[in-house]
Amino acid sequence: MHVEIKVGDVLQCPADVLISTANPWLNLSGGVNGAILSAVGPAIQDELHNFLKSQGISAVPAGTVVYSGAGNLPFQCILHAVAIDPFYDSSIDLVGQTLRTALGMAVERGAQTVASPTLATGYGPLTITDFGRAVSPLQSESKFDAITLSIVVRSEEHRGELQEAVHCTANRA
């Protein structure tokens, strides 16, 4: 897997698939999810809530990744990655497991490019460096060799922290 770190808006990052942050209730309520809701309207929120209803549940467990359409966003689909528990707690291991699942789903869908924000670092307790530690070991997994993962952060400071943690070449959006 080739990792690129970009500064900008993840919703504007060209990619086949978007990995988005998600909470266990699959509510598009803030951060990247709020931006998705603002950009697309209620269609994706309705799709996620219909998924929960079809499963007969009100929330999904931490580590779950749920597929949805992308509305008018420039992606083939969105993979909603739940890297926090209901108390908004997380860990490097949970983020790594959740990313592994999401990247596997992207590979199954034939994606070559994937965009992602830093999971569990906004409403979750992790630092940007922690997220980088979760990503780093995934780079050597052969099943992800054909993927370019663009991690999009909001500042040059975060780009530097992440670049150091992931040990990759950084690019600017």
Has residue 120 got a pLDDT over 70? yes
Domain 2-166 belongs in CATH node 3.40.50.2300: no
Phi, psi for 72 (deg, rounded to 5): -95, 10
Has residue 113 got a pLDDT over 50? yes
Q: Where are the domains of the chain?
A: 2-166
Percent of the chain with pLDDT over 70: 97
Map tokens 């993840």 to a residue: 10
**How far apart are the C-alpha atoms of 63 and 83, rounded to whole Å?**
5
What's the whole-number mean pLDDT along residues 96-104?
A: 98
Q: Among 58-67, 122-131, 146-155, 164-173, which stretch is predicted with the lowest mean pLDDT? A: 164-173
Q: Hey, how many other C-beta atoms are within 10 angstroms of the C-beta on 142?
A: 7
Q: Are 137 and 171 in contact (CB under 8 A)?
A: no
